[in-house]
Structure 1
Amino acid sequence: MEKSKNQLITEKSIRLLQRNQYTFHVDSKLTKTEMKNWIEQFFDVKVEGINSSRVRTRRKTKSSSNSTSKKKMITRLQSNYFIPLFLN
């Protein structure tokens, strides 16, 4: 299962970097504990906390409207750690 789809780069996520917080789009079935363990192992960092939210996206067409759900997680790292941007 793919855990992290990509790092999210927006104005808000860039502001959060100043507080050592990183934003990711993740698999919608992923739990906070699974995400914490994966980030700590993959990036070799220590996670202080994680906030998650579901983001609904609506796509309208002439015949119908579809809505999809994505999950966004904001990961707060301990002060001595960081994650490099643009890993892909």
Structure 2
Amino acid sequence: MQKKAYIDKLIDNIKYPIITDKTTKNIENNVYYFKVNKTINKSEIKTAIEYIFDVKVEKINTINVYPKTKRLGKFTGKISQYKKAIVKLKKTYSINLFNNN
């Protein structure tokens, strides 16, 4: 039971894939971008990605994206700080992020 609770905690820390023009171009090179919890480390990210998508991870880079101030007319606000994980998979593996139907 204890291992299942640990895996569930790791799965909750991977929030969602980041999909932009730049990231979709990198999918051809087996590089995927994910928004993750700020407290998770590289080994936990690797374990979670390998468990969720049933793939083998070659390399992980993480980036702390700091908050930015945005303006809309006279109103100002902030975009929250988050952590971005850049995951490179081994050559024979891939993740299907888009539904091909």
TM-score norm. by structure 1 comes to 0.84
2-side partners of 1:58 and 1:29: how far apart? 20
In structure 1, what is the equivalent of residue 65 of structure 2?
55
2-side partners of 1:54 and 1:13: how far apart? 17
Code of the aligned partner of 1:10? T
2-side partners of 1:73 and 1:31: how far apart? 10
Identical-pair percentage: 37
Code of the aligned partner of 1:38? A
* Higher RCO (CA 8 Å, separation ≥ 6 residues): 1
What is the SS of the residue equivalent to 1:50?
A: strand
In structure 2, what is the equivalent of residue 45 of structure 1?
55
Residue 69 of structure 1 deviates from its aligned partner by 1.5
Judged with a 3 Å threshold, the aligned counterparts in structure 2 of structure 1 residues 15 and 67 are, in CA distance, closer, same or farther, namely: closer
Residue 34 of structure 1 deviates from its aligned partner by 0.2
**Structure number with higher strand proportion:** 1
2-side partners of 1:84 and 1:64: how far apart? 38
**Structure number with higher helix proportion:** 2
Matches within 5 A, 1:64-83: 66=78, 68-83=80-95
What is the SS of the residue equivalent to 2:95?
A: coil
Unaligned residue ranges in structure 2 (runs of 5+): 1-8
Q: Which moved more, 1:62-71 or 1:36-45?
A: 62-71
Unaligned residue ranges in structure 1 (runs of 5+): none
Who wins on radius of gyration, i.e. which is larger?
2
2-side partners of 1:24 and 1:31: how far apart? 13
